[in-house]
Structure 1
Amino acid sequence: MAKKPQLAVDTRPWRDPNAKPFVRIKNVTKKFGDVAAVADVSLDIYKSELFCLLGGSGSGKSTLLRMLAGFEEPTSGTIEIDGQDMTGVPPYQRPVNMMFQSYALFPHMSVEKNIAYGLKREGMPKDEIAARVEELLRLVKLEPYAQRRPHQLSGGQRQRVALARALAKRPKLLLLDEPLGALDKKLREETQFELVKIQETLGVTFIVVTHDQEEAMSLATRIGVMNQGEIAMIGEPADVYEFPNSRFVAGFIGSVNMFEGVVTEDEADHVRIRSAEAGCDIYVDHGVDCAPDQILWYAIRPEKITLTRERPEGDANIAKGIVEDIAYLGDMSVFQVKLDSGQYMRVTKANSERGDPNAIKWDEEVYAQWSGGAGSVLTV
């Protein structure tokens, strides 16, 4: 008799209602004068997560990170790390280390001595320091560079030295403030994967602050999107991108087309929206918590839309327009379509063929079409 295949165990503790958070932020507010940089934030982060706090300038993400590190005290609320209340606990007594955007390496010390610095300050025996430094150099793939000074290294190598130094004291929690911000685009992309591998190897809980949406999507087990001191949404990268909970989140993560409309049909299995901005009816193939005649917004990503010269069949999700601009980006092309309604729609198409002779050109009349499940209906 054949054995039943075993189901894979879900290793995502945030999906388990009984899992105990490793970091618990409860109703934390931080005011500077009358201004709340962080406003009543509650957030649970679990052991071995790589959690990203994502937000624009002034969203409160760095202030929240500094409170976790102990550099700022909350005006109200509590922070617990590994079950311990951090109220009044100074930075040097917390099971936390922080890696800054500037890396803050000692220019007169070799790579080896930079990594060993904190361990020497703690009075660790020399042989143990040497073994730990060797282990970390191997982990960040910098063994051949042990005797070099920071100015003799590339930006990516300096970033890895700073990471090794931050990990030397084996913190339970590592806080990273815009860790890849100083690197160029290609190196940043390469380093993202290295950072994930290192985090998975060590199992240390990482909390990363970034303003870069692509970086957050590449690194994170979960993302907390921040806006004006509040958490706008928490979710796994795919959920935040595909199922945003508000116009702000939809617009902040990636590129999106947004159309206002009015509900004309509200059924259990579908909704129809009349949208003057889209210039067509929008059909959604699932129920939505809304009322007839309610004004709402429909968000659809550029890659979910198909452009054709001939009008497709159907009475919804078909918008007509003229191609005003095309940007060729190598792996894909971006089409800027001016709809008959006067609104603009952004459409992307993967360049799977070389020199496609049938590719849509500038000034062509086109029809943009999408499926009933392609977009998100937003009420806020």
Structure 2
Amino acid sequence: MIDARQPAIAAETKPWRSAGTRPFISVKNIVKRFGDFTAVSNVDLDIYKGELFCLLGESGCGKSTLLRMLAGFEQPSSGTITIDGEDMARVPPDRRPTNMMFQSYALFPHMTVEKNVAYGLLREGLSRAAAYERAGEMLRMVKLEKQARRKPDQLSGGQRQRVALARALVKKPKLLLLDEPLGALDKKLREETQFELIKIQESLGVTFIVVTHDQDEAMTLATRIGVMKDGIIEQIGEPREIYETPNSRFVADFIGSVNLVEGRIDAVAPDLMRIQTEELGPVLLPPQTGYTRNQQVWGAVRPERWALSRAKPEANPNAWQGVVEELGYIGHMSHYRIRLDNGVLIRASQSNRLRDEDPISWDERVWISVQPAAFRVLTR
């Protein structure tokens, strides 16, 4: 029987924060070249048992190639991959403690759902009774036991996705690799399925690595995210860390929406730091270490950190005037584009829960301000 009591990685544990904890998967200096093209370049990555780790990036950044190397479908040009303490260099795909779920799902159209799930077990020589018993357990877990006798073309997209997941998990892999697993679903079904995927992963305790280009999906699913660009991992961190403290302009711009201003550090003092920017003029920040005068930096501000008001804000040096050029209402949030007096366009957001009966609207002249601590200073 499948033991559904095994907990996934506990939220409070976070072994990546503890020095000396052995990773379940260790990728060291991995390089993959296809002729003169380097798809993956010197990647180091540790993933811990029970994680739901997301590799996030644009098409062609190397994330699927890295996943295929973990599965054994591609061989590294150099570097090592270790899974559960075993070097995978000479281990073929069918001998690795992994399984892979593809975006296409690749279900057999002539087989029933039950047969699709049991197929891999039967190929391995498991008895028909045992294979179908385990397939039934997995179908109950993904809530498809009533569809066991149907064919794939009689299922919805979300149901086919769950059949593919059940088939991938029925062999009890230690590691499940998912390549854009929700890419074929519409937006609403995709959002619902994300939470189902989390519940299944938590109930089984299997380590998941998910490849996706969807930032919202990665932020929803992941214990941690690795953001990839041009074959390298730009940053690894928990979703909140990636969003609130990006380490580069690329990560700041790729994850969510951001306002970026370029400037040079004009003053560094015990009580403040000032950046002289072309877009906003002088910007005051809290004191920070590690920076020097005249150093080139970029200031990043998320849209929701801006405050809008008709009256000039008091005691906030970071305030500018402009006109509401665009306004988008999407229910829980309103998105503004404010054209400042110097022509710079600022993106700001407000929760509609906080709006009064006389909300700021199109063509209004407003003050837009941000607290010094809301600026994230980037050096690259």
Coarse TM-score class (shorter-chain normalised)? over 0.9
Q: Sequence identity, in percent?
A: 60
Distance in 1 of aligned mates of 2:352 and 2:11: 37
Aligned-pair CA distance for 1:125:
1.8
Distance in 1 of aligned mates of 2:349 and 2:54: 27
Aligned-pair CA distance for 1:126:
2.4
Q: 2:227 aligns with which of 202, 225, 228?
A: 225
Distance in 2 of aligned mates of 1:158 and 1:38: 31
- The equivalent of 1:298 in structure 2 is 299
Distance in 1 of aligned mates of 2:287 and 2:360: 32
Distance in 2 of aligned mates of 1:349 and 1:25: 42
Q: Does 1:338 align with 2:339?
A: yes
Letter in 2 for 1:290: Y
Whether the aligned pair in 1 keeps the contact of 2:268 and 2:287 (CA below 8 Å) is no
- The equivalent of 1:378 in structure 2 is 378
- The equivalent of 1:347 in structure 2 is 348
- The equivalent of 1:327 in structure 2 is 328
- The equivalent of 1:206 in structure 2 is 208
Distance in 2 of aligned mates of 1:47 and 1:268: 43
User: Aligned pair in 2 of structure 1 residues 44, 138: CA closer, same or farther (>3 Å)?
Assistant: same
Whether the aligned pair in 1 keeps the contact of 2:316 and 2:371 (CA below 8 Å) is no
Give ranges in structure 2 of 5+ residues lacking alignment. Answer: 1-9
Distance in 2 of aligned mates of 1:50 and 1:139: 18
Whether the aligned pair in 2 keeps the contact of 1:31 and 1:38 (CA below 8 Å) is yes
- Residue 158 of structure 1 aligns to a residue whose secondary structure is helix
Distance in 2 of aligned mates of 1:340 and 1:162: 55
Aligned-pair CA distance for 1:367:
1.1
Q: 2:52 aligns with which of 36, 50, 60?
A: 50
User: Aligned pair in 2 of structure 1 residues 369, 9: CA closer, same or farther (>3 Å)?
Assistant: closer
Distance in 2 of aligned mates of 1:9 and 1:352: 29
- The equivalent of 2:314 in structure 1 is 313
Whether the aligned pair in 1 keeps the contact of 2:297 and 2:379 (CA below 8 Å) is yes
**Aligned-pair Cα RMSD in Å:** 1.4
Aligned length: 371
Aligned-pair CA distance for 1:273:
1.4
Letter in 2 for 1:292: R
- Residue 195 of structure 1 aligns to a residue whose secondary structure is helix
The TM-score with structure 1 as length reference comes to 0.95
Aligned-pair CA distance for 1:351:
1.1
- Residue 368 of structure 1 aligns to a residue whose secondary structure is strand
- Residue 14 of structure 1 aligns to a residue whose secondary structure is helix
User: Aligned pair in 2 of structure 1 residues 30, 222: CA closer, same or farther (>3 Å)?
Assistant: same
- Residue 166 of structure 1 aligns to a residue whose secondary structure is helix
Aligned-pair CA distance for 1:107:
0.6
Aligned-pair CA distance for 1:269:
4.8
Structure 1 stretches of 4+ with a deviation exceeding 4 A read none
5 Å-filtered alignment, 1:32-51, equals 32-51=34-53
How big is each residue's C-alpha offset from its partner over 1:252-272, in whole Å with a ceiling of 9 and x where there is no partner? Answer: 000000011221221345312
Distance in 1 of aligned mates of 2:312 and 2:243: 29
Aligned-pair CA distance for 1:30:
0.4
Distance in 2 of aligned mates of 1:49 and 1:185: 25
Whether the aligned pair in 1 keeps the contact of 2:316 and 2:369 (CA below 8 Å) is no
**After alignment, is 229-238 or 132-141 more displaced?**
132-141
User: Aligned pair in 2 of structure 1 residues 353, 293: CA closer, same or farther (>3 Å)?
Assistant: closer
- Residue 353 of structure 2 aligns to a residue whose secondary structure is coil
- The equivalent of 2:99 in structure 1 is 97
Aligned-pair CA distance for 1:113:
0.5
Letter in 2 for 1:287: Q
Give ranges in structure 1 of 5+ residues lacking alignment. Answer: 1-7
